């Protein structure tokens, strides 16, 4: 039995395969309704405790993940689990790091790497992916994911 997000809930991105992933800013209150079953927290310091399974990816604000291999593993796990679970990707504000990670999930889901940022901006948040290096990271994720 699958337990995925309500597709009309705030912050939920539908990937081309139909997988649903929620992006969120941790500085904002937790939205009412469904809770994540698995989350990846993209923060420069230890995230707050979550009442669901959560993993921390050290990713300073406006930067890139400090461990690219770990990032690749966690984002692939999030993408795989999104097929049957409520997966959340979250950073402080829910735009830059979260948008970049969502673009990487879109690449894993088959969106061409050069179109992934535009896809996330069109379907999640028009301000997603805040820096040129975050954009390049998402565009090069397809090559990194194959290694």
**Contact (CB, 8 A) for 102 and 124:** yes
Tell me the residue range of the domain where 111 lies. Answer: 12-146
**Which pLDDT value is given to residue 3?**
83
* Domains in the chain, number: 1
User: CA nearest 42: which of 98, 93, 99, 103?
Assistant: 98
Q: Which DSSP symbol is given to 113? A: G
**Which pLDDT value is given to residue 1?**
46
Task: Flag whether 5 is in a domain.
Answer: no
Supply 2's token pair.
């699958």
**Which pLDDT value is given to residue 118?**
98
Cβ–Cβ contacts within 10 Å for residue 121, how many? 16
Task: Flag whether 3 is in a domain.
Answer: no
CATH number for position 48: 3.90.190.10
Helix axes 96-108 and 116-123, enclosed angle (nearest 10): 120
Task: Flag whether 2 is in a domain.
Answer: no
Instruction: Give the pLDDT confidence of 108-140 residue by residue, as tens digits.
Output: 999 999 999 999 999 999 999 999 999 999 999
Instruction: Give the pLDDT confidence of 34-76 residue by residue, as tens digits.
Output: 999 999 999 999 998 999 999 999 999 989 999 999 999 999 9
**Contact (CB, 8 A) for 44 and 30:** no
Task: Flag whether 82 is in a domain.
Answer: yes
Task: Flag whether 33 is in a domain.
Answer: yes
Q: Work out the average pLDDT over 92-96.
A: 97
**Which pLDDT value is given to residue 92?**
97
Instruction: Give the pLDDT confidence of 2-34 residue by residue, as tens digits.
Output: 689 999 999 999 999 999 999 999 999 999 999
Task: Flag whether 98 is in a domain.
Answer: yes
Task: Flag whether 45 is in a domain.
Answer: yes
């Amino acid at each position: 039995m699958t337990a995925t997000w309500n597709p009309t809930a705030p912050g939920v991105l539908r990937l081309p395969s139909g997988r649903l992933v929620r992006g969120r800013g941790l500085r904002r209150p937790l939205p009412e309704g469904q809770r994540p079953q698995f989350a990846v927290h993209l923060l420069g310091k230890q995230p707050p405790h979550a009442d669901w399974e959560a993993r921390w990816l050290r990713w300073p604000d406006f930067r890139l993940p400090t461990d690219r291999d770990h990032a690749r593993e966690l984002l692939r796990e999030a993408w795989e689990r999104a097929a049957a679970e409520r997966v959340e990707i979250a950073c402080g504000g829910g735009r830059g790091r979260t948008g970049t990670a969502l673009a990487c999930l879109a690449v894993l889901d088959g969106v061409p790497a050069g179109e992934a940022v535009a896809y996330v901006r069109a379907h999640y948040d028009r301000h997603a992916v805040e820096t040129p290096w975050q954009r390049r990271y998402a565009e090069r994720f397809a090559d990194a994911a194959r290694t």
